Structure 1
């Protein structure tokens, strides 16, 4: 939300701000709506006023109804608000490019919760989070396609995958099959074992298959961008959450047996040293660890979850149960590690994890899947029909001719006006498609698709999205009211900024004139010069009392106090000095102004007060009250603007409609 809408919200203070108002629905589907009021030539309906009035309230609940006075006050504010919006429109502020740009930015954000895509996305987010509550352990066999593979090659790989699945189900050792047949390079070392993982750590087709299996079950061949996978589920258990560990690393050189033996002895000696009560983990880590990135910070690593580190390290790290527990040396491809458990925490709540889950889903292939589902639903909902012969003909033209020549060929064949597809029985022509490509406003990358397919799919996607937005504006009352509220808010800000807020700030001559005309409003009440010393600790109270008891107010007394006491004890007391309107001062209003020195106890604090010159009431100088003058000048200009608008626009109120709203909102 930007500054303009914040200003609008502040101005329209009576209507509290909430993104999801409760609208009282009435069964008026068969009735022709009757305006609540007319301003100029514009009808304004009751649902808009009720929408604003019912924010953070449910008028079905008797305790949340408002008083007759509140209703009338809000109704008057609503009239003023709509008058200003009407004036902004008549001035053409809604036609300015700046307004259009800003409104489009708001519109893009406001429409998101109402779109089909949002509900599908939320479902995918929740599914991912629910899967994250569990971790699964699986092994797989990967069979990749040969380079430039044909359809026959693909079928052959699929049949090989089926054969391996059958062998495994017949009793063959799955991990030995993985070691022998898998195209995953790591299978030679891990025999296909992937260890534990959770949602969003594998490509989504693999994840879907793994989470659908029972322990011991072997999947049908699963197709991903890597090839065909056969997956065996070995275990599933609740997600243990995350752990924070530190480690000491001694690197190894496996091709050098002597160096390997030396590393093993060294890590053994370090582990023995760490068992001594007097040993210090941070010092030992700093001296001996060969992880240069963490050795000087006690070996501390980022938070770890299952599946985020290599299995050998993960297995030992997650087996530690007590904070501060140290593991024996564990071997990984990086060398020997000694691991200490620093902290652990459960999986975070959905609200905390939602931004991370959403970011990861939008970056992987799930986003393409969601968009495909969106388009499918939109096609069904909005009666999408393709003209297949025309599509096929244009597709062939793009395949047979240079891209830049196709528009001319289409024109010469009289295809430009042909319907390429229809939405809600309204045809979209070939020339519309050509213009869409020519505009080049979309970032279209053909990838695996042909040029025509990529641009056609994008054109269909944009056309269906526009139809969905149109449908929301026509049929979704909540979205329509919300969008209208933001639109009017931007216009209101522009009008008020030009005619009230900035005008009052920049019109220095007007400020002075307003001040002179209203001088009696800006006066000082009785004032007194005073020094107030509020004690912070009791041990200094007696010495400060002795120092001040024979003193009278002087402008330099605060400096002497500071030099005498605060240099060595900055928290001894705080001082307040100046010219005060004593009647409104929390301490001075309790003081006896006829005493030059006195001691008061107030709010559990000792206050020493020295009273100086007393000043009678007098007018404030302009410079002394400029801020308040500007504030009042703004209010004056606002009231002047409203009065002018009420003269210029005829306002007609439908009292019957107003009474209906009154009956809904007002406590009886």
Structure 2
């Protein structure tokens, strides 16, 4: 705990012997309170369990296999982002409600197309004839340039393994089988910031295209004559209503964020302020102006956005599958296949939370059978039934109830990993212990000290009466205190206050008088003040009632009222201080009680060993 905020191998970071002893005593007090909280079974309450479980989930995350694999995927994605791929593909989808035979037929077709391409047949015509990608009619299977996290995981994985010109084996994704050919690789140019002027067109109307072409040509000619008129021209003629009033400005973008024709034109511009010739896309005709270029951001800058993309549903599912596979291997997972198949078979005919499901398992004597084992511990069917009934997790809808079994296996493996971390990862174990003890300490203190002092009115009043000597006013005086910041105001203020007696309303009258003056040139306070606590009042006599004084570097003008002799403070005048002192009293009383209740033994040799490490030599 001492090492959290200090590096004791550096001389300047070491403690004095007094600091060490103070910290050692605080550590004992801390452990005593945790021990007492455990003795009171505060760690057994539902409230504690709920709070600790929430903390534990966050604390566990950095240590888990899942986080390690996620971080690996994030770094892999960033590494791939330095490279752009240009590929074309043919997509063969599965027919609705396809059978195993249907899937094999699609695979055979994919293999046949791969062979045709490798034998020299042109990719484009084959894509037009066979590909079921909706965009094939427009691009003949050509996907243009893309980088990491812009394609589905299986497609990306396969594409990044290919050499230029190489054709992939059939790649299975959620869309079907892909045949991919890599056409080119190049360095990622980073990001570009551009503005554009858009003239829209109707692709199905030749006359619309011709009108748009003439209009964009006229706009381009006008810009060539006066490039400084960009904002005005954009506002007048651009048909992109979301950007025209901002000079057509777009956010920073990289390759793959917009249509190819637009991106190619933007990245081809080299000098800030340079304007492109008109470019046609599916949206219309554009003229682009370059506002800036920058390389791919650093990993630190991109980490959060990459993490968000990696955790999207399909990639998250892949990572979870990898986690489960590693956990099964690491923790000696073994499945009782006959029992597992029998349970799954029943679950497909009966609702898992129904009495019928339970009854069938009972009738077939399956409840006490082992479903699977982890680390030689058997997980029985009965435990699975209890897991479903608890309904503590979200399970995705599925055509069968197998998802519940898979989730039970997943949760069981996660619990085993957590137990493994607690047993074998000292850093994690100490972190968890510290948070657990911290919650217990807070709960004990809240119940016995903080809230008790706030709610125990009788106890607070008894403490106040027993310690009345601590809550005394010194000599006080009614006073208007003017701190004169601008010396030129001193005489006008003195003139205004001449022959005026102290009253609380005098402040408002003086402020009205000084209305035309800067409020930074003076400060006015009024009230009853302890003479010894206010520098301006400390060494003055009560007469005359109006006087100038100096304290330190500041000048003051005072109007004095009634003098009030020293005396006791009523409870309401010192309530906050009494409660604070009562809390400290309750804390001391609690520690005295605990030190009487528990035997404290100190290993002096170990204490000296630690002292030698953390205390500076004299």
TM-score (norm 1): 0.80
**SS of the residue aligned with 1:653?**
coil
Runs of 5+ unmatched residues, structure 1: 1-51, 536-540
Alignment deviations for residues 518-557 of structure 1 (CA, whole Å, 9 cap, x no partner): 544654588875212435xxxxx76x46745766587788
Corresponding position: 1:435 with 2:383: no
Paired position in structure 2 for 1:287: 236
Paired position in structure 2 for 1:416: 367
Contact 2:474-2:531 within 8 A present in 1 as well: no
Q: Post-superposition shift, 1:494?
A: 1.5
Alignment deviations for residues 446-476 of structure 1 (CA, whole Å, 9 cap, x no partner): 536x32x322222211211122222222232
User: Among 53, 77, 101, which residue is 2:50 paired with?
Assistant: 101
Q: How does 1:10-49 map to 2 (within 5 A)?
A: none
- Cα distance change of structure 1 residues 590 and 344 upon mapping to structure 2, 3 Å threshold: farther
User: Among 139, 155, 161, which residue is 2:88 paired with?
Assistant: 139
C-alpha separation in 1, matches of 2:326 and 2:216: 61
Paired position in structure 2 for 1:323: 272
C-alpha separation in 1, matches of 2:472 and 2:274: 71
Q: Post-superposition shift, 1:512?
A: 4.9
Corresponding position: 1:575 with 2:523: yes
Runs of 5+ unmatched residues, structure 2: none
Q: How many residues align?
A: 604
RMSD: 3.6
**SS of the residue aligned with 1:217?**
coil
C-alpha separation in 2, matches of 1:276 and 1:573: 58
Contact 1:220-1:230 within 8 A present in 2 as well: yes
Paired position in structure 1 for 2:398: 447
Corresponding position: 1:253 with 2:202: yes
TM-score (norm 2): 0.86
Query: Which of structures 1 and 2 has the larger relative contact order (alpha carbons within 8 angstroms, sep 6+)?
Result: 1
C-alpha separation in 2, matches of 1:241 and 1:566: 59
C-alpha separation in 1, matches of 2:535 and 2:152: 66
Q: Post-superposition shift, 1:265?
A: 1.9
Corresponding position: 1:117 with 2:62: no
Q: How does 1:627-638 map to 2 (within 5 A)?
A: 627-638=576-587
User: Among 351, 360, 378, which residue is 2:309 paired with?
Assistant: 360
C-alpha separation in 2, matches of 1:110 and 1:656: 33
C-alpha separation in 2, matches of 1:620 and 1:306: 77
Paired position in structure 1 for 2:453: 504
User: Among 492, 495, 498, which residue is 2:441 paired with?
Assistant: 492
Contact 1:525-1:618 within 8 A present in 2 as well: yes
Contact 1:273-1:279 within 8 A present in 2 as well: no
Paired position in structure 2 for 1:3: none
User: Among 207, 225, 243, which residue is 2:192 paired with?
Assistant: 243
C-alpha separation in 2, matches of 1:590 and 1:216: 95
Q: Post-superposition shift, 1:586?
A: 8.8
- Cα distance change of structure 1 residues 169 and 563 upon mapping to structure 2, 3 Å threshold: farther
Contact 1:552-1:596 within 8 A present in 2 as well: no
C-alpha separation in 1, matches of 2:564 and 2:191: 69
Paired position in structure 1 for 2:557: 610
User: Among 371, 374, 378, which residue is 2:320 paired with?
Assistant: 371
**SS of the residue aligned with 1:231?**
strand
Contact 2:167-2:181 within 8 A present in 1 as well: yes
C-alpha separation in 1, matches of 2:243 and 2:381: 62
**SS of the residue aligned with 1:443?**
coil
Q: How does 1:164-175 map to 2 (within 5 A)?
A: 164-175=113-124
**SS of the residue aligned with 1:245?**
strand
Q: Post-superposition shift, 1:301?
A: 3.0
Contact 1:552-1:610 within 8 A present in 2 as well: no
